[in-house]
C-alpha cells in the first residue's frame, strides 16, 4: 500500500520500508530521505537527510520503526534507491512489489536482472548462480500477479547486442509471450521452467572467444561448428548447478532445433521438440533479428515477424502469433 502526501506536491507518494529494504539501503550519506508519518501534522516528516550519515542510535530507532511499518520512502527518491535495491531483487519483490505500480517496478526489475545475469556471462556461473536462482521464483510470482509490468519492461530493453542484453531481451520477451500473448493461462511451474530456459539458453556462448562472437564477417567452418556446439555447452554448464529443472535443461538443448529438422545440435523435428524448446527457439530468433550487431543491421519488429512467418515450417505458428500479439499490441 502506498500513501499520498498532503503537502505541496499532490503527486508525491510514500511507500513503506521494511526491515529487509532498510538493511540494503546505504546508511553512510544516502542520496535520499526516509520519512515517518506524523499523526499530529497529518503528513510525512523526514527522519534522515540526503548526504547525512545515519548514526548508530538513529539506525536502531529507524529499524524498530520499520518493524512497525512506520518508515516510508518517497516516490521521488525511488530512482536514487535503484542502485542499492537492484542488487537485492528478491527483497524488492517480496517487500515492495505490492506498493509500487507496474511503471515503477519495471526499471527496478530490469536493472536487478541485469545485475544478476551479467556476472553469469562475464564472470562465473558457479560463483554467481545462487543469487540469480533465488530471485527467479519471486520474479515469476510477481509477474504472474501483475503481467502489465512486462509491457513496461519490453519498452526499456536494449537493442545493442551483448550476451547480457540478449539474455534479458529473450527472457522478458518470452515471458511476455507466455503471460500476455497466449489465449490459455500458463501455469506457474511452466512459467518458472520457461524463465530458466529463456534467460540462460545462450550461457554456453560465454565459453567462446570474443573474436568469434563479435565477428563482423562470415564465420569459418570451424567457427560455425563452435557456435553450433553452444547449446551443448549451455546444458553442461547448467547441469552442473544441480538446480535447473529438467524441462528447462531440455529446452536449452533444443533452442536451435527447428520443426522441419533443419536445426541443431541433434536435428530434432516436430513434436520431438518440447513446447518450451519451441518457445525459446522462436523468441531467440526474433530477438537476434531485432538487435544491433557488428556488421549486421537490425530488423524492425514487423520485418522480424514477417521473417518468422515466412519460415513457418521451422517455428510453431501459435507461438509466432502470440509473439505478434505482444510485439504489435499498439
The domain spanning residue 291 has which CATH number? 1.10.3210.10
DSSP state of 13: E
Q: Are residues 72 and 91 in the same domain?
A: no
Q: Are residues 26 and 118 in the same domain?
A: no
Rounded distance, CA 241 to CA 235, Å?
10
**Highest mean pLDDT (candidates 190-194, 219-223, 308-312):** 190-194
Residue 272 included in any domain: yes
Q: Are residues 282 and 138 in the same domain?
A: yes
Cell of 159: 537493442
What is the average pLDDT score of the chain? 91
Q: Are residues 143 and 218 in the same domain?
A: yes
Q: Are residues 43 and 192 in the same domain?
A: no
**Residue where a domain stops, chosen among 48, 76, 104:** 76
Q: Is the predicted pLDDT of residue 307 greater than 50, yes or no?
A: yes
Confidence of residue 9 (pLDDT cuts 50, 70, 90): very low
**Residue where a domain stops, chosen among 56, 76, 96:** 76
Would you state the pLDDT for residue 250? 98
Q: Are residues 137 and 183 in the same domain?
A: yes
Q: Are residues 169 and 245 in the same domain?
A: yes
Residue 150 included in any domain: yes
Q: Kindly report which listed range (60-74, 241-255, 291-305) carries the lowest average pLDDT score.
A: 291-305
Rounded distance, CA 238 to CA 236, Å?
6
Confidence of residue 210 (pLDDT cuts 50, 70, 90): low
For the residues 81-100, what does the mean pLDDT come to?
A: 91
For the residues 199-226, what does the mean pLDDT come to?
A: 78
If 0-12 CB within 10 Å is exposed, 13-18 middle and 19+ buried, where does residue 225 land?
Answer: exposed
Return the number of other C-beta atoms located less than 10 Å from residue 148's C-beta. 15
For the residues 70-97, what does the mean pLDDT come to?
A: 92
Phi, psi of 34 (to 5 degrees): -110, 150
Would you state the pLDDT for residue 61? 93
Would you state the pLDDT for residue 4? 59
- More confident: 121 or 207: 121
Strand order in the sheet with 34-38: 3-4, 13-16, 71-74, 34-38, 43-46
Confidence of residue 223 (pLDDT cuts 50, 70, 90): confident
Q: Are residues 289 and 156 in the same domain?
A: yes
100 touches 15 (CB < 8 A): yes
Would you state the pLDDT for residue 293? 81
Q: Is the predicted pLDDT of residue 218 greater than 50, yes or no?
A: yes
Residue 94 included in any domain: yes
Give the CA dihedral 119, 125, 131, 134, nearest 10 degrees. Answer: 140
End-to-end CA distance of the chain: 30
Q: Are residues 109 and 65 in the same domain?
A: no
For the residues 260-281, what does the mean pLDDT come to?
A: 97
- The total of structural domains in the chain comes to 2
Q: Are residues 68 and 207 in the same domain?
A: no
Cell of 43: 503528513
Residue 193 included in any domain: yes
Q: Are residues 141 and 266 in the same domain?
A: yes
Q: Are residues 112 and 136 in the same domain?
A: yes
Q: Kindly report which listed range (100-109, 208-217, 253-262) carries the lowest average pLDDT score.
A: 208-217
- At 286 the three-state DSSP class reads helix
Rounded distance, CA 163 to CA 207, Å?
11
311 touches 259 (CB < 8 A): no
Alpha helical stretches, state H, the chain: 19-24, 56-67, 78-85, 89-95, 102-122, 125-145, 148-154, 163-176, 188-200, 210-213, 221-228, 230-239, 246-254, 275-290, 301-310, 317-327
Rounded distance, CA 82 to CA 108, Å?
6
Q: How far is CA 217 from CA 66, 163, 207, 293, 299, in A?
A: 57, 18, 20, 11, 18
**Residue where a domain stops, chosen among 76, 101, 132:** 76
132 touches 120 (CB < 8 A): yes
Rounded distance, CA 167 to CA 176, Å?
14
Residue 81 included in any domain: no
70: domain range?
1-76
Q: State pLDDT tens for residues 134-157.
A: 999 999 999 999 999 999 999 999
Amino acid at each position: 500500500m502506498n500513501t499520498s502526501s498532503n503537502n505541496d506536491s499532490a503527486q508525491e507518494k510514500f511507500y513503506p520500508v521494511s526491515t529487509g529494504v532498510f538493511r540494503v539501503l546505504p546508511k553512510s550519506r544516502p542520496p535520499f530521505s526516509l520519512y515517518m508519518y506524523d499523526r499530529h501534522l497529518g503528513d510525512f516528516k523526514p527522519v534522515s537527510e540526503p548526504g547525512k550519515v545515519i548514526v548508530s542510535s538513529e539506525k536502531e530507532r529507524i529499524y524498530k520503526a520499520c518493524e512497525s511499518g512506520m518508515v516510508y520512502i518517497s516516490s521521488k527518491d525511488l530512482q536514487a534507491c535503484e542502485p542499492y535495491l537492484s542488487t537485492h531483487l528478491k527483497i524488492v519483490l517480496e517487500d515492495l512489489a505490492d506498493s509500487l505500480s507496474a511503471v515503477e517496478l519495471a526499471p527496478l526489475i530490469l536493472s536487478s536482472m541485469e545485475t544478476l545475469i551479467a556476472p553469469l556471462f562475464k564472470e562465473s556461473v558457479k560463483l554467481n548462480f545462487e543469487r540469480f536462482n533465488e530471485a527467479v521464483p519471486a520474479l515469476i510470482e510477481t509477474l504472474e500477479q501483475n503481467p502489465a509490468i512486462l509491457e513496461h519492461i519490453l519498452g526499456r530493453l536494449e537493442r545493442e547486442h551483448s550476451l547480457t542484453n540478449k539474455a534479458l531481451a529473450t527472457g522478458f520477451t518470452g515471458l511476455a509471450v507466455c503471460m500476455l500473448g497466449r489465449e490459455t493461462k500458463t501455469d506457474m511451474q511452466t512459467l518458472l521452467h520457461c524463465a530458466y530456459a529463456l534467460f540462460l539458453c545462450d550461457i554456453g556462448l560465454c565459453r567462446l572467444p570474443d573474436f568469434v562472437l563479435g565477428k563482423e564477417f562470415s564465420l569459418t567452418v570451424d567457427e560455425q561448428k563452435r557456435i553450433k556446439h553452444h547449446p551443448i555447452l549451455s546444458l553442461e554448464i547448467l547441469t552442473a548447478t544441480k538446480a535447473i529443472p529438467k524441462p528447462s535443461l531440455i529446452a536449452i538443448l533444443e533452442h536451435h532445433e527447428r520443426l522441419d529438422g533443419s536445426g541443431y545440435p541433434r536435428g530434432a523435428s516436430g513434436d520431438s521438440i518440447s513446447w518450451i524448446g519451441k518457445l525459446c527457439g522462436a523468441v531467440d530468433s526474433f530477438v537476434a533479428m531485432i538487435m544491433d550487431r557488428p556488421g549486421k543491421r537490425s530488423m524492425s519488429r514487423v520485418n522480424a515477424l514477417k521473417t518468422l512467418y515466412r519460415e513457418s515450417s521451422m517455428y510453431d505458428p501459435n507461438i509466432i502469433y502470440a509473439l505478434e500479439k505482444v510485439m504489435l499490441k499498439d
